[in-house]
Amino acid sequence: MSQCGERVGSILLVERLGVGGMGEVFAGVDERLGRRVAVKAMRADHGMDATARGRLAREARMLSRLEHPAICRLYELVETPDGDYLVMELVSGKTLDVAIADSMSPELKLAVAEQVAEALVAAHAMSVIHRDLKPTNVMVTSGGTPKVLDFGLARPAPEDEAAPDRPAPADAVDGYDDAGAVTRRGDVVGTPRFMSPEQAAGGRATAASDMYSFGLLLQEMFTEEPAYGVDLTSKQLLQKARWADTAPLAGLDRGIASLIRALTSLRPEDRPTATEAREGLRTIRERPRRRLRRIALAVVAVSLLLAAAGLGAGWLRARQGQAEAEQARAQAEAVNRFLRGMLESADPRDRGHDVRVVEVLDRAATELSPALSDDPVVQAAVLDAIGSTYHALGVYPKARRHLEQALELRRGALGPTHPDTLTSSDRLGRLLADQGELDDAERRLRDTLAARQEVLGEQHRDTATSLRSLAHVLELRGRYDEATAALTDALERLRAVAGPDDPETLATETALAMVLSRQGRFDEAAQVQRRTLAAKRRVLGERHPDTLASLGDLAVSLAQMGQHAEAEELMRATIEARTEVLGPDHPATLTARSNLSQVLAAQGRLVEADSIEREVLETRRRVLGPEHLDTLASIGNLAVTSVRRGDLSGAAELLRQALATASQTLGEEHPQTLMWMANLATVLLRQRRLDEAEALVRTCIERRTRTIGADHPSTLVSRETLADLLTAAGRLEEAEAEHRSLVNASRRALGPDHARTLKRERHLARLLRNTGREAEAEALEAGAPALEPQLTTSR
């Protein structure tokens, strides 16, 4: 019997996880690769004969062919004189039966069901049949991702099957019994509670048998009751299984019930394939999103109608005379016609697939001019709304084009100081800031603020909004003191004018907490975030997306303060709630999971961190695309984890990938592009590839100085890397000059007591000490420069 503390090759067995039909299962650590693994052990003293060893080899060959995120991966088969060992992915989480008992949300059930179906699609495509699919053979990770385990009863599908997804010919007679021997028909293999009729009758299992078991799994998951009833003996279970005598389906969604009935058909040929089941589940899961999309677009339609045509009570009071009222009605009818066409273009029945918001906006933009060209005010309102939506989606070029057109139309029709014109100017300024055009953004936003102060007054909420927009640019420039002052001023005005629980007030508090965090004032940031979170819980409720955003922001601040245990607890709560409310693939859910990965990495739990971030990266690539900023953030976070593992080559490769993509999609001087460049330079420094690192970091310093300023905190980080590089290269006079200049700049920009300033003083002291100038050294030595991690807030 294997024992904890034993070694299997490079793997140390550290914990016994259980005993199964194939033998014992251990958690182990592969000390060569620095990762945790699961080890399934079959030893000779367990009586494993040549037949059983052959079965183990077959299992290894089958599993090694399966590469899918929802299938537990096999790393290697280790054969020793004392026994054989399967080394597999170690999956953290809980088995599906436990998850069902803990009350899964309907959204999570559908997501898990679809991914298990995808695993069966992959397995059947490789002619591999599981033969014992059941909830205890499915693990659900903390992020809601299922992993199908234990292909111990699996076997290759016979070569005479017409297709991997279809049942085998009726005259096929051979299978494998539980010991691995080839058997005659009549032997029963599997778990009776999840067994297909043909298996219960001793027949051969096929892909269709897996689908029957999948149907029983779905029935138990969605009804939370055994499919064959309770308190039955094995004999009674087998009898029910032979005739597909399952419990009635009551109270289920009609689509789910219909799919389960089809999967649990008595005749194998009547059951859907894995591909058909997956597509059926996908349709069911997307149905609420389609309804929500139509509802959301209808809400947008009403909002645009009121905003563009000016049908609010205040607007009507401002209008004078019957002629103007008739004109207002005409504008409303024009907007209605346009929006009706926009909504009809979003109906997936007309186009055969789900329509993304961007596609709806693209079509609306194309049809906008002919629909509304007679009224520039109405056209500008719709352009402004479309441009703002493009901005929120991260489609900056299209956003800019529409916002600029809206501003031009409003300026011409309403005048340069009309409130609507100033709203367009403010939105365009924020977009310019997010595009990295900080000089133009600041000029525009300062002009807009001055105009609003003159036209609307100091206490108007739009004036406070301008202060928040300006603070956003100041934050991006690294002028945190000015940003804090602007936000504090805006917050005071909003509390007086709109009240402490107004959405604009809470949004401004959220922005203030962000700037405080940037300044290293994490405790103050957390205090503001706790207050904002309490207000959102009171006003919006526990499960509102904005409340969950504040919960996630607070978790990030706690992580930055080093309070990892509480941060982890809040992040897991955020993930669970966002998965239930928004779904497991929603960008906000993925952001929370990515942040959890970084907190785990900071605690040295690198295997867990890497596993979660890789799942997030794969989902972001699928949902958001390979060029999205969030996708790049996952690549960068994996690089940070690689550095912590000591895998500098892997980190450099990941950062090169992120840098190349960002350069192409965002531009060579975008702040995100320069962050990847700075991080790559730091990794190259640690690899002692000094020439390449120096070229990169000097380019980064030059571009950051030009775009965000010489004293911006990010520019100073790059200068710190350069100073350490010069020290490593033995160019001590240059290094000392750079360190002294950096310390002075840091004191000026961040203050003499800032953590970064103190660290840089210690770096300089270490250099002085190493050159024999002990009297000048005033601080302790510090470690190497850190990468810039991407813990992401709701912004």
pLDDT tens-digit map of 474-508 = 888 778 889 999 999 999 999 998 889 888 899 99
Domain at 7-89, CATH homologous superfamily: Phosphorylase Kinase; domain 1 (3.30.200.20)
Q: What is the dihedral sign for C-alpha 338, 340, 342, 345? A: negative
The whole-number pLDDT of residue 546 equals 87
Long-range contacts of 408-411, Cβ-Cβ distance < 8 Å, separation of 24 or more = 409/376, 409/377, 409/379, 409/380, 409/383, 410/377, 410/380, 410/384
Q: Does residue 175 contact residue 187 with C-beta atoms inside 8 Å? A: yes
Across all residues in the chain, what is the average pLDDT?
79
Distance, CA of 651 to CA of 655 (rounded, Å): 6
Please give the Cα distance from 79 to 154 (Å, whole number): 20
Q: In the predicted model, what is the mean pLDDT of residues 594-600? A: 92
Model pLDDT for residues 274-323, shown as the tens digit of each residue: 989 998 898 887 765 544 444 444 444 444 433 433 333 333 333 344 54
Condensed to tens digits (0 to 9), the pLDDT of residues 376-412 reads 888 888 788 788 877 876 677 888 998 999 999 999 9
The three-class DSSP label of residue 156 is strand
What's the half-sphere exposure (Cβ side, CA atoms, 13 Å) at 156? 13
Give the integer Cα–Cα distance in Å for 573 and 592.
10
pLDDT of residue 116 exceeding 50, the answer is: yes
Element of type H or E holding 38:
strand 35-43
CATH (residue range 94-272): 1.10.510.10
DSSP 544: -
Q: Please enumerate in sequence order all residues whose Cβ is within 8 A of that of 98, keeping only pairs 6 or more positions apart, or say none.
A: none
The mean pLDDT value for 774-789 works out to: 48
The arithmetic mean of pLDDT across residues 689-710, rounded, is 91
Segment 168-197 shows an average pLDDT of 46
User: What count of other Cβ atoms lies within 10 Å of the Cβ of residue 374?
Assistant: 11
| Beta-bridge partner residues of 78 | 85
Residue 394's Cβ-count burial label (10 Å; 0-12, 13-18, 19+) is: middle
| Residue closest to 213 by CA, chosen among 263, 272, 153, 273 | 263
Sheet of 138-140: strands edge to edge?
A: 94-95, 138-140, 146-148
Q: What is the pLDDT of residue 488?
A: 94
Provide mean pLDDT across the span 748-773.
Answer: 81
Q: Identify the pLDDT of residue 230.
A: 80
Q: Give mean pLDDT, residues 130-137.
A: 90
Least confident of 188-192, 480-484, 637-641: 188-192
Question: Alpha-carbon distance 227 to 222, whole Å?
Answer: 10
Q: 38: which strand partners?
A: 27, 88
Name which residue leads in pLDDT, 23 or 536: 536
Q: For residue 794, what pLDDT is reported?
A: 46
Whether 109 shows a pLDDT value over 70: the answer reads yes
Span 569-576, average pLDDT: 92
Record the pTM.
0.52
- Report residue 364's pLDDT band, with 50, 70 and 90 as the boundaries: low
**Residue 311 vs residue 18, higher pLDDT:** 18
Percent of the chain with pLDDT strictly greater than 90:
29
| CB 335, CB 382: distance < 8 Å | yes
Q: pLDDT value at position 164?
A: 36
pLDDT at 47 over 60: no
Extents of the domains making up the chain: 7-89, 94-272, 667-776
Mean pLDDT of 159-186: 32
What one-letter code names the amino acid at 163? A
CATH architecture, domain 667-776: Alpha Horseshoe (1.25)
Position of tokens 């300062």? 446
Query: How much is the pLDDT for 52?
Result: 65
CA angle 575, 577, 579 (to 5 degrees): 65
**In terms of DSSP bridges, do strands 11-20 and 23-30 run parallel, antiparallel, or are they unpaired?**
antiparallel
Query: What confidence score (pLDDT) does residue 478 get?
Result: 74
Expressed in angstroms, the distance from the first to the final Cα of the chain is 54
pLDDT at 422: 96
CA atoms in the 13 A half-sphere facing the CB of 92: 11
d(CA 738, CA 179): 71
Query: DSSP characters for 482-538?
Result: HHHHHHHHHHHHHHHHT-TTSHHHHHHHHHHHHHHHHTT-HHHHHHHHHHHHHHHHH
Of 191 and 107, the structure prediction assigns the larger pLDDT to: 107
The answer to whether residue 132 is catalytic is: yes
User: 308 phi and psi, to 5 degrees?
Assistant: -75, -40
Compute the distance between CA of residue 127 and CA of residue 160 in angstroms, rounded to an integer.
11
- What is the DSSP annotation of 586-638? SHHHHHHHHHHHHHHHHTT-HHHHHHHHHHHHHHHHHHT-TTSHHHHHHHHHH
Contact present, 636 and 658 (Cβ < 8 Å): yes
**Which tokens in the block code for residue 126?**
């490789």
In three-state secondary structure terms, 54 is helix
Q: Is the dihedral of CA 714, 715, 719, 721 positive or negative?
A: positive
* Dist CA 181 CA 501 (whole Å): 70
Cα torsion 123, 127, 130, 133: sign? positive
Catalytic member of 84, 132, 426, 434 = 132
The token duo for 582 is 């928004």
Most confident of 151-160, 214-223, 371-380: 214-223
Q: Which residues contact 82 (CB under 8 A, 6 or more apart)?
A: 43, 44, 45
Question: Which parts of 264-395 fold into alpha helices (H)?
Answer: 274-309, 313-318, 322-345, 357-372, 376-393
What's the pLDDT at 294?
46
Contact, 650 vs 619, CB < 8 A? Answer: no
Summarised one tens digit per residue, pLDDT across range 93-108 is: 899 999 999 888 888 9
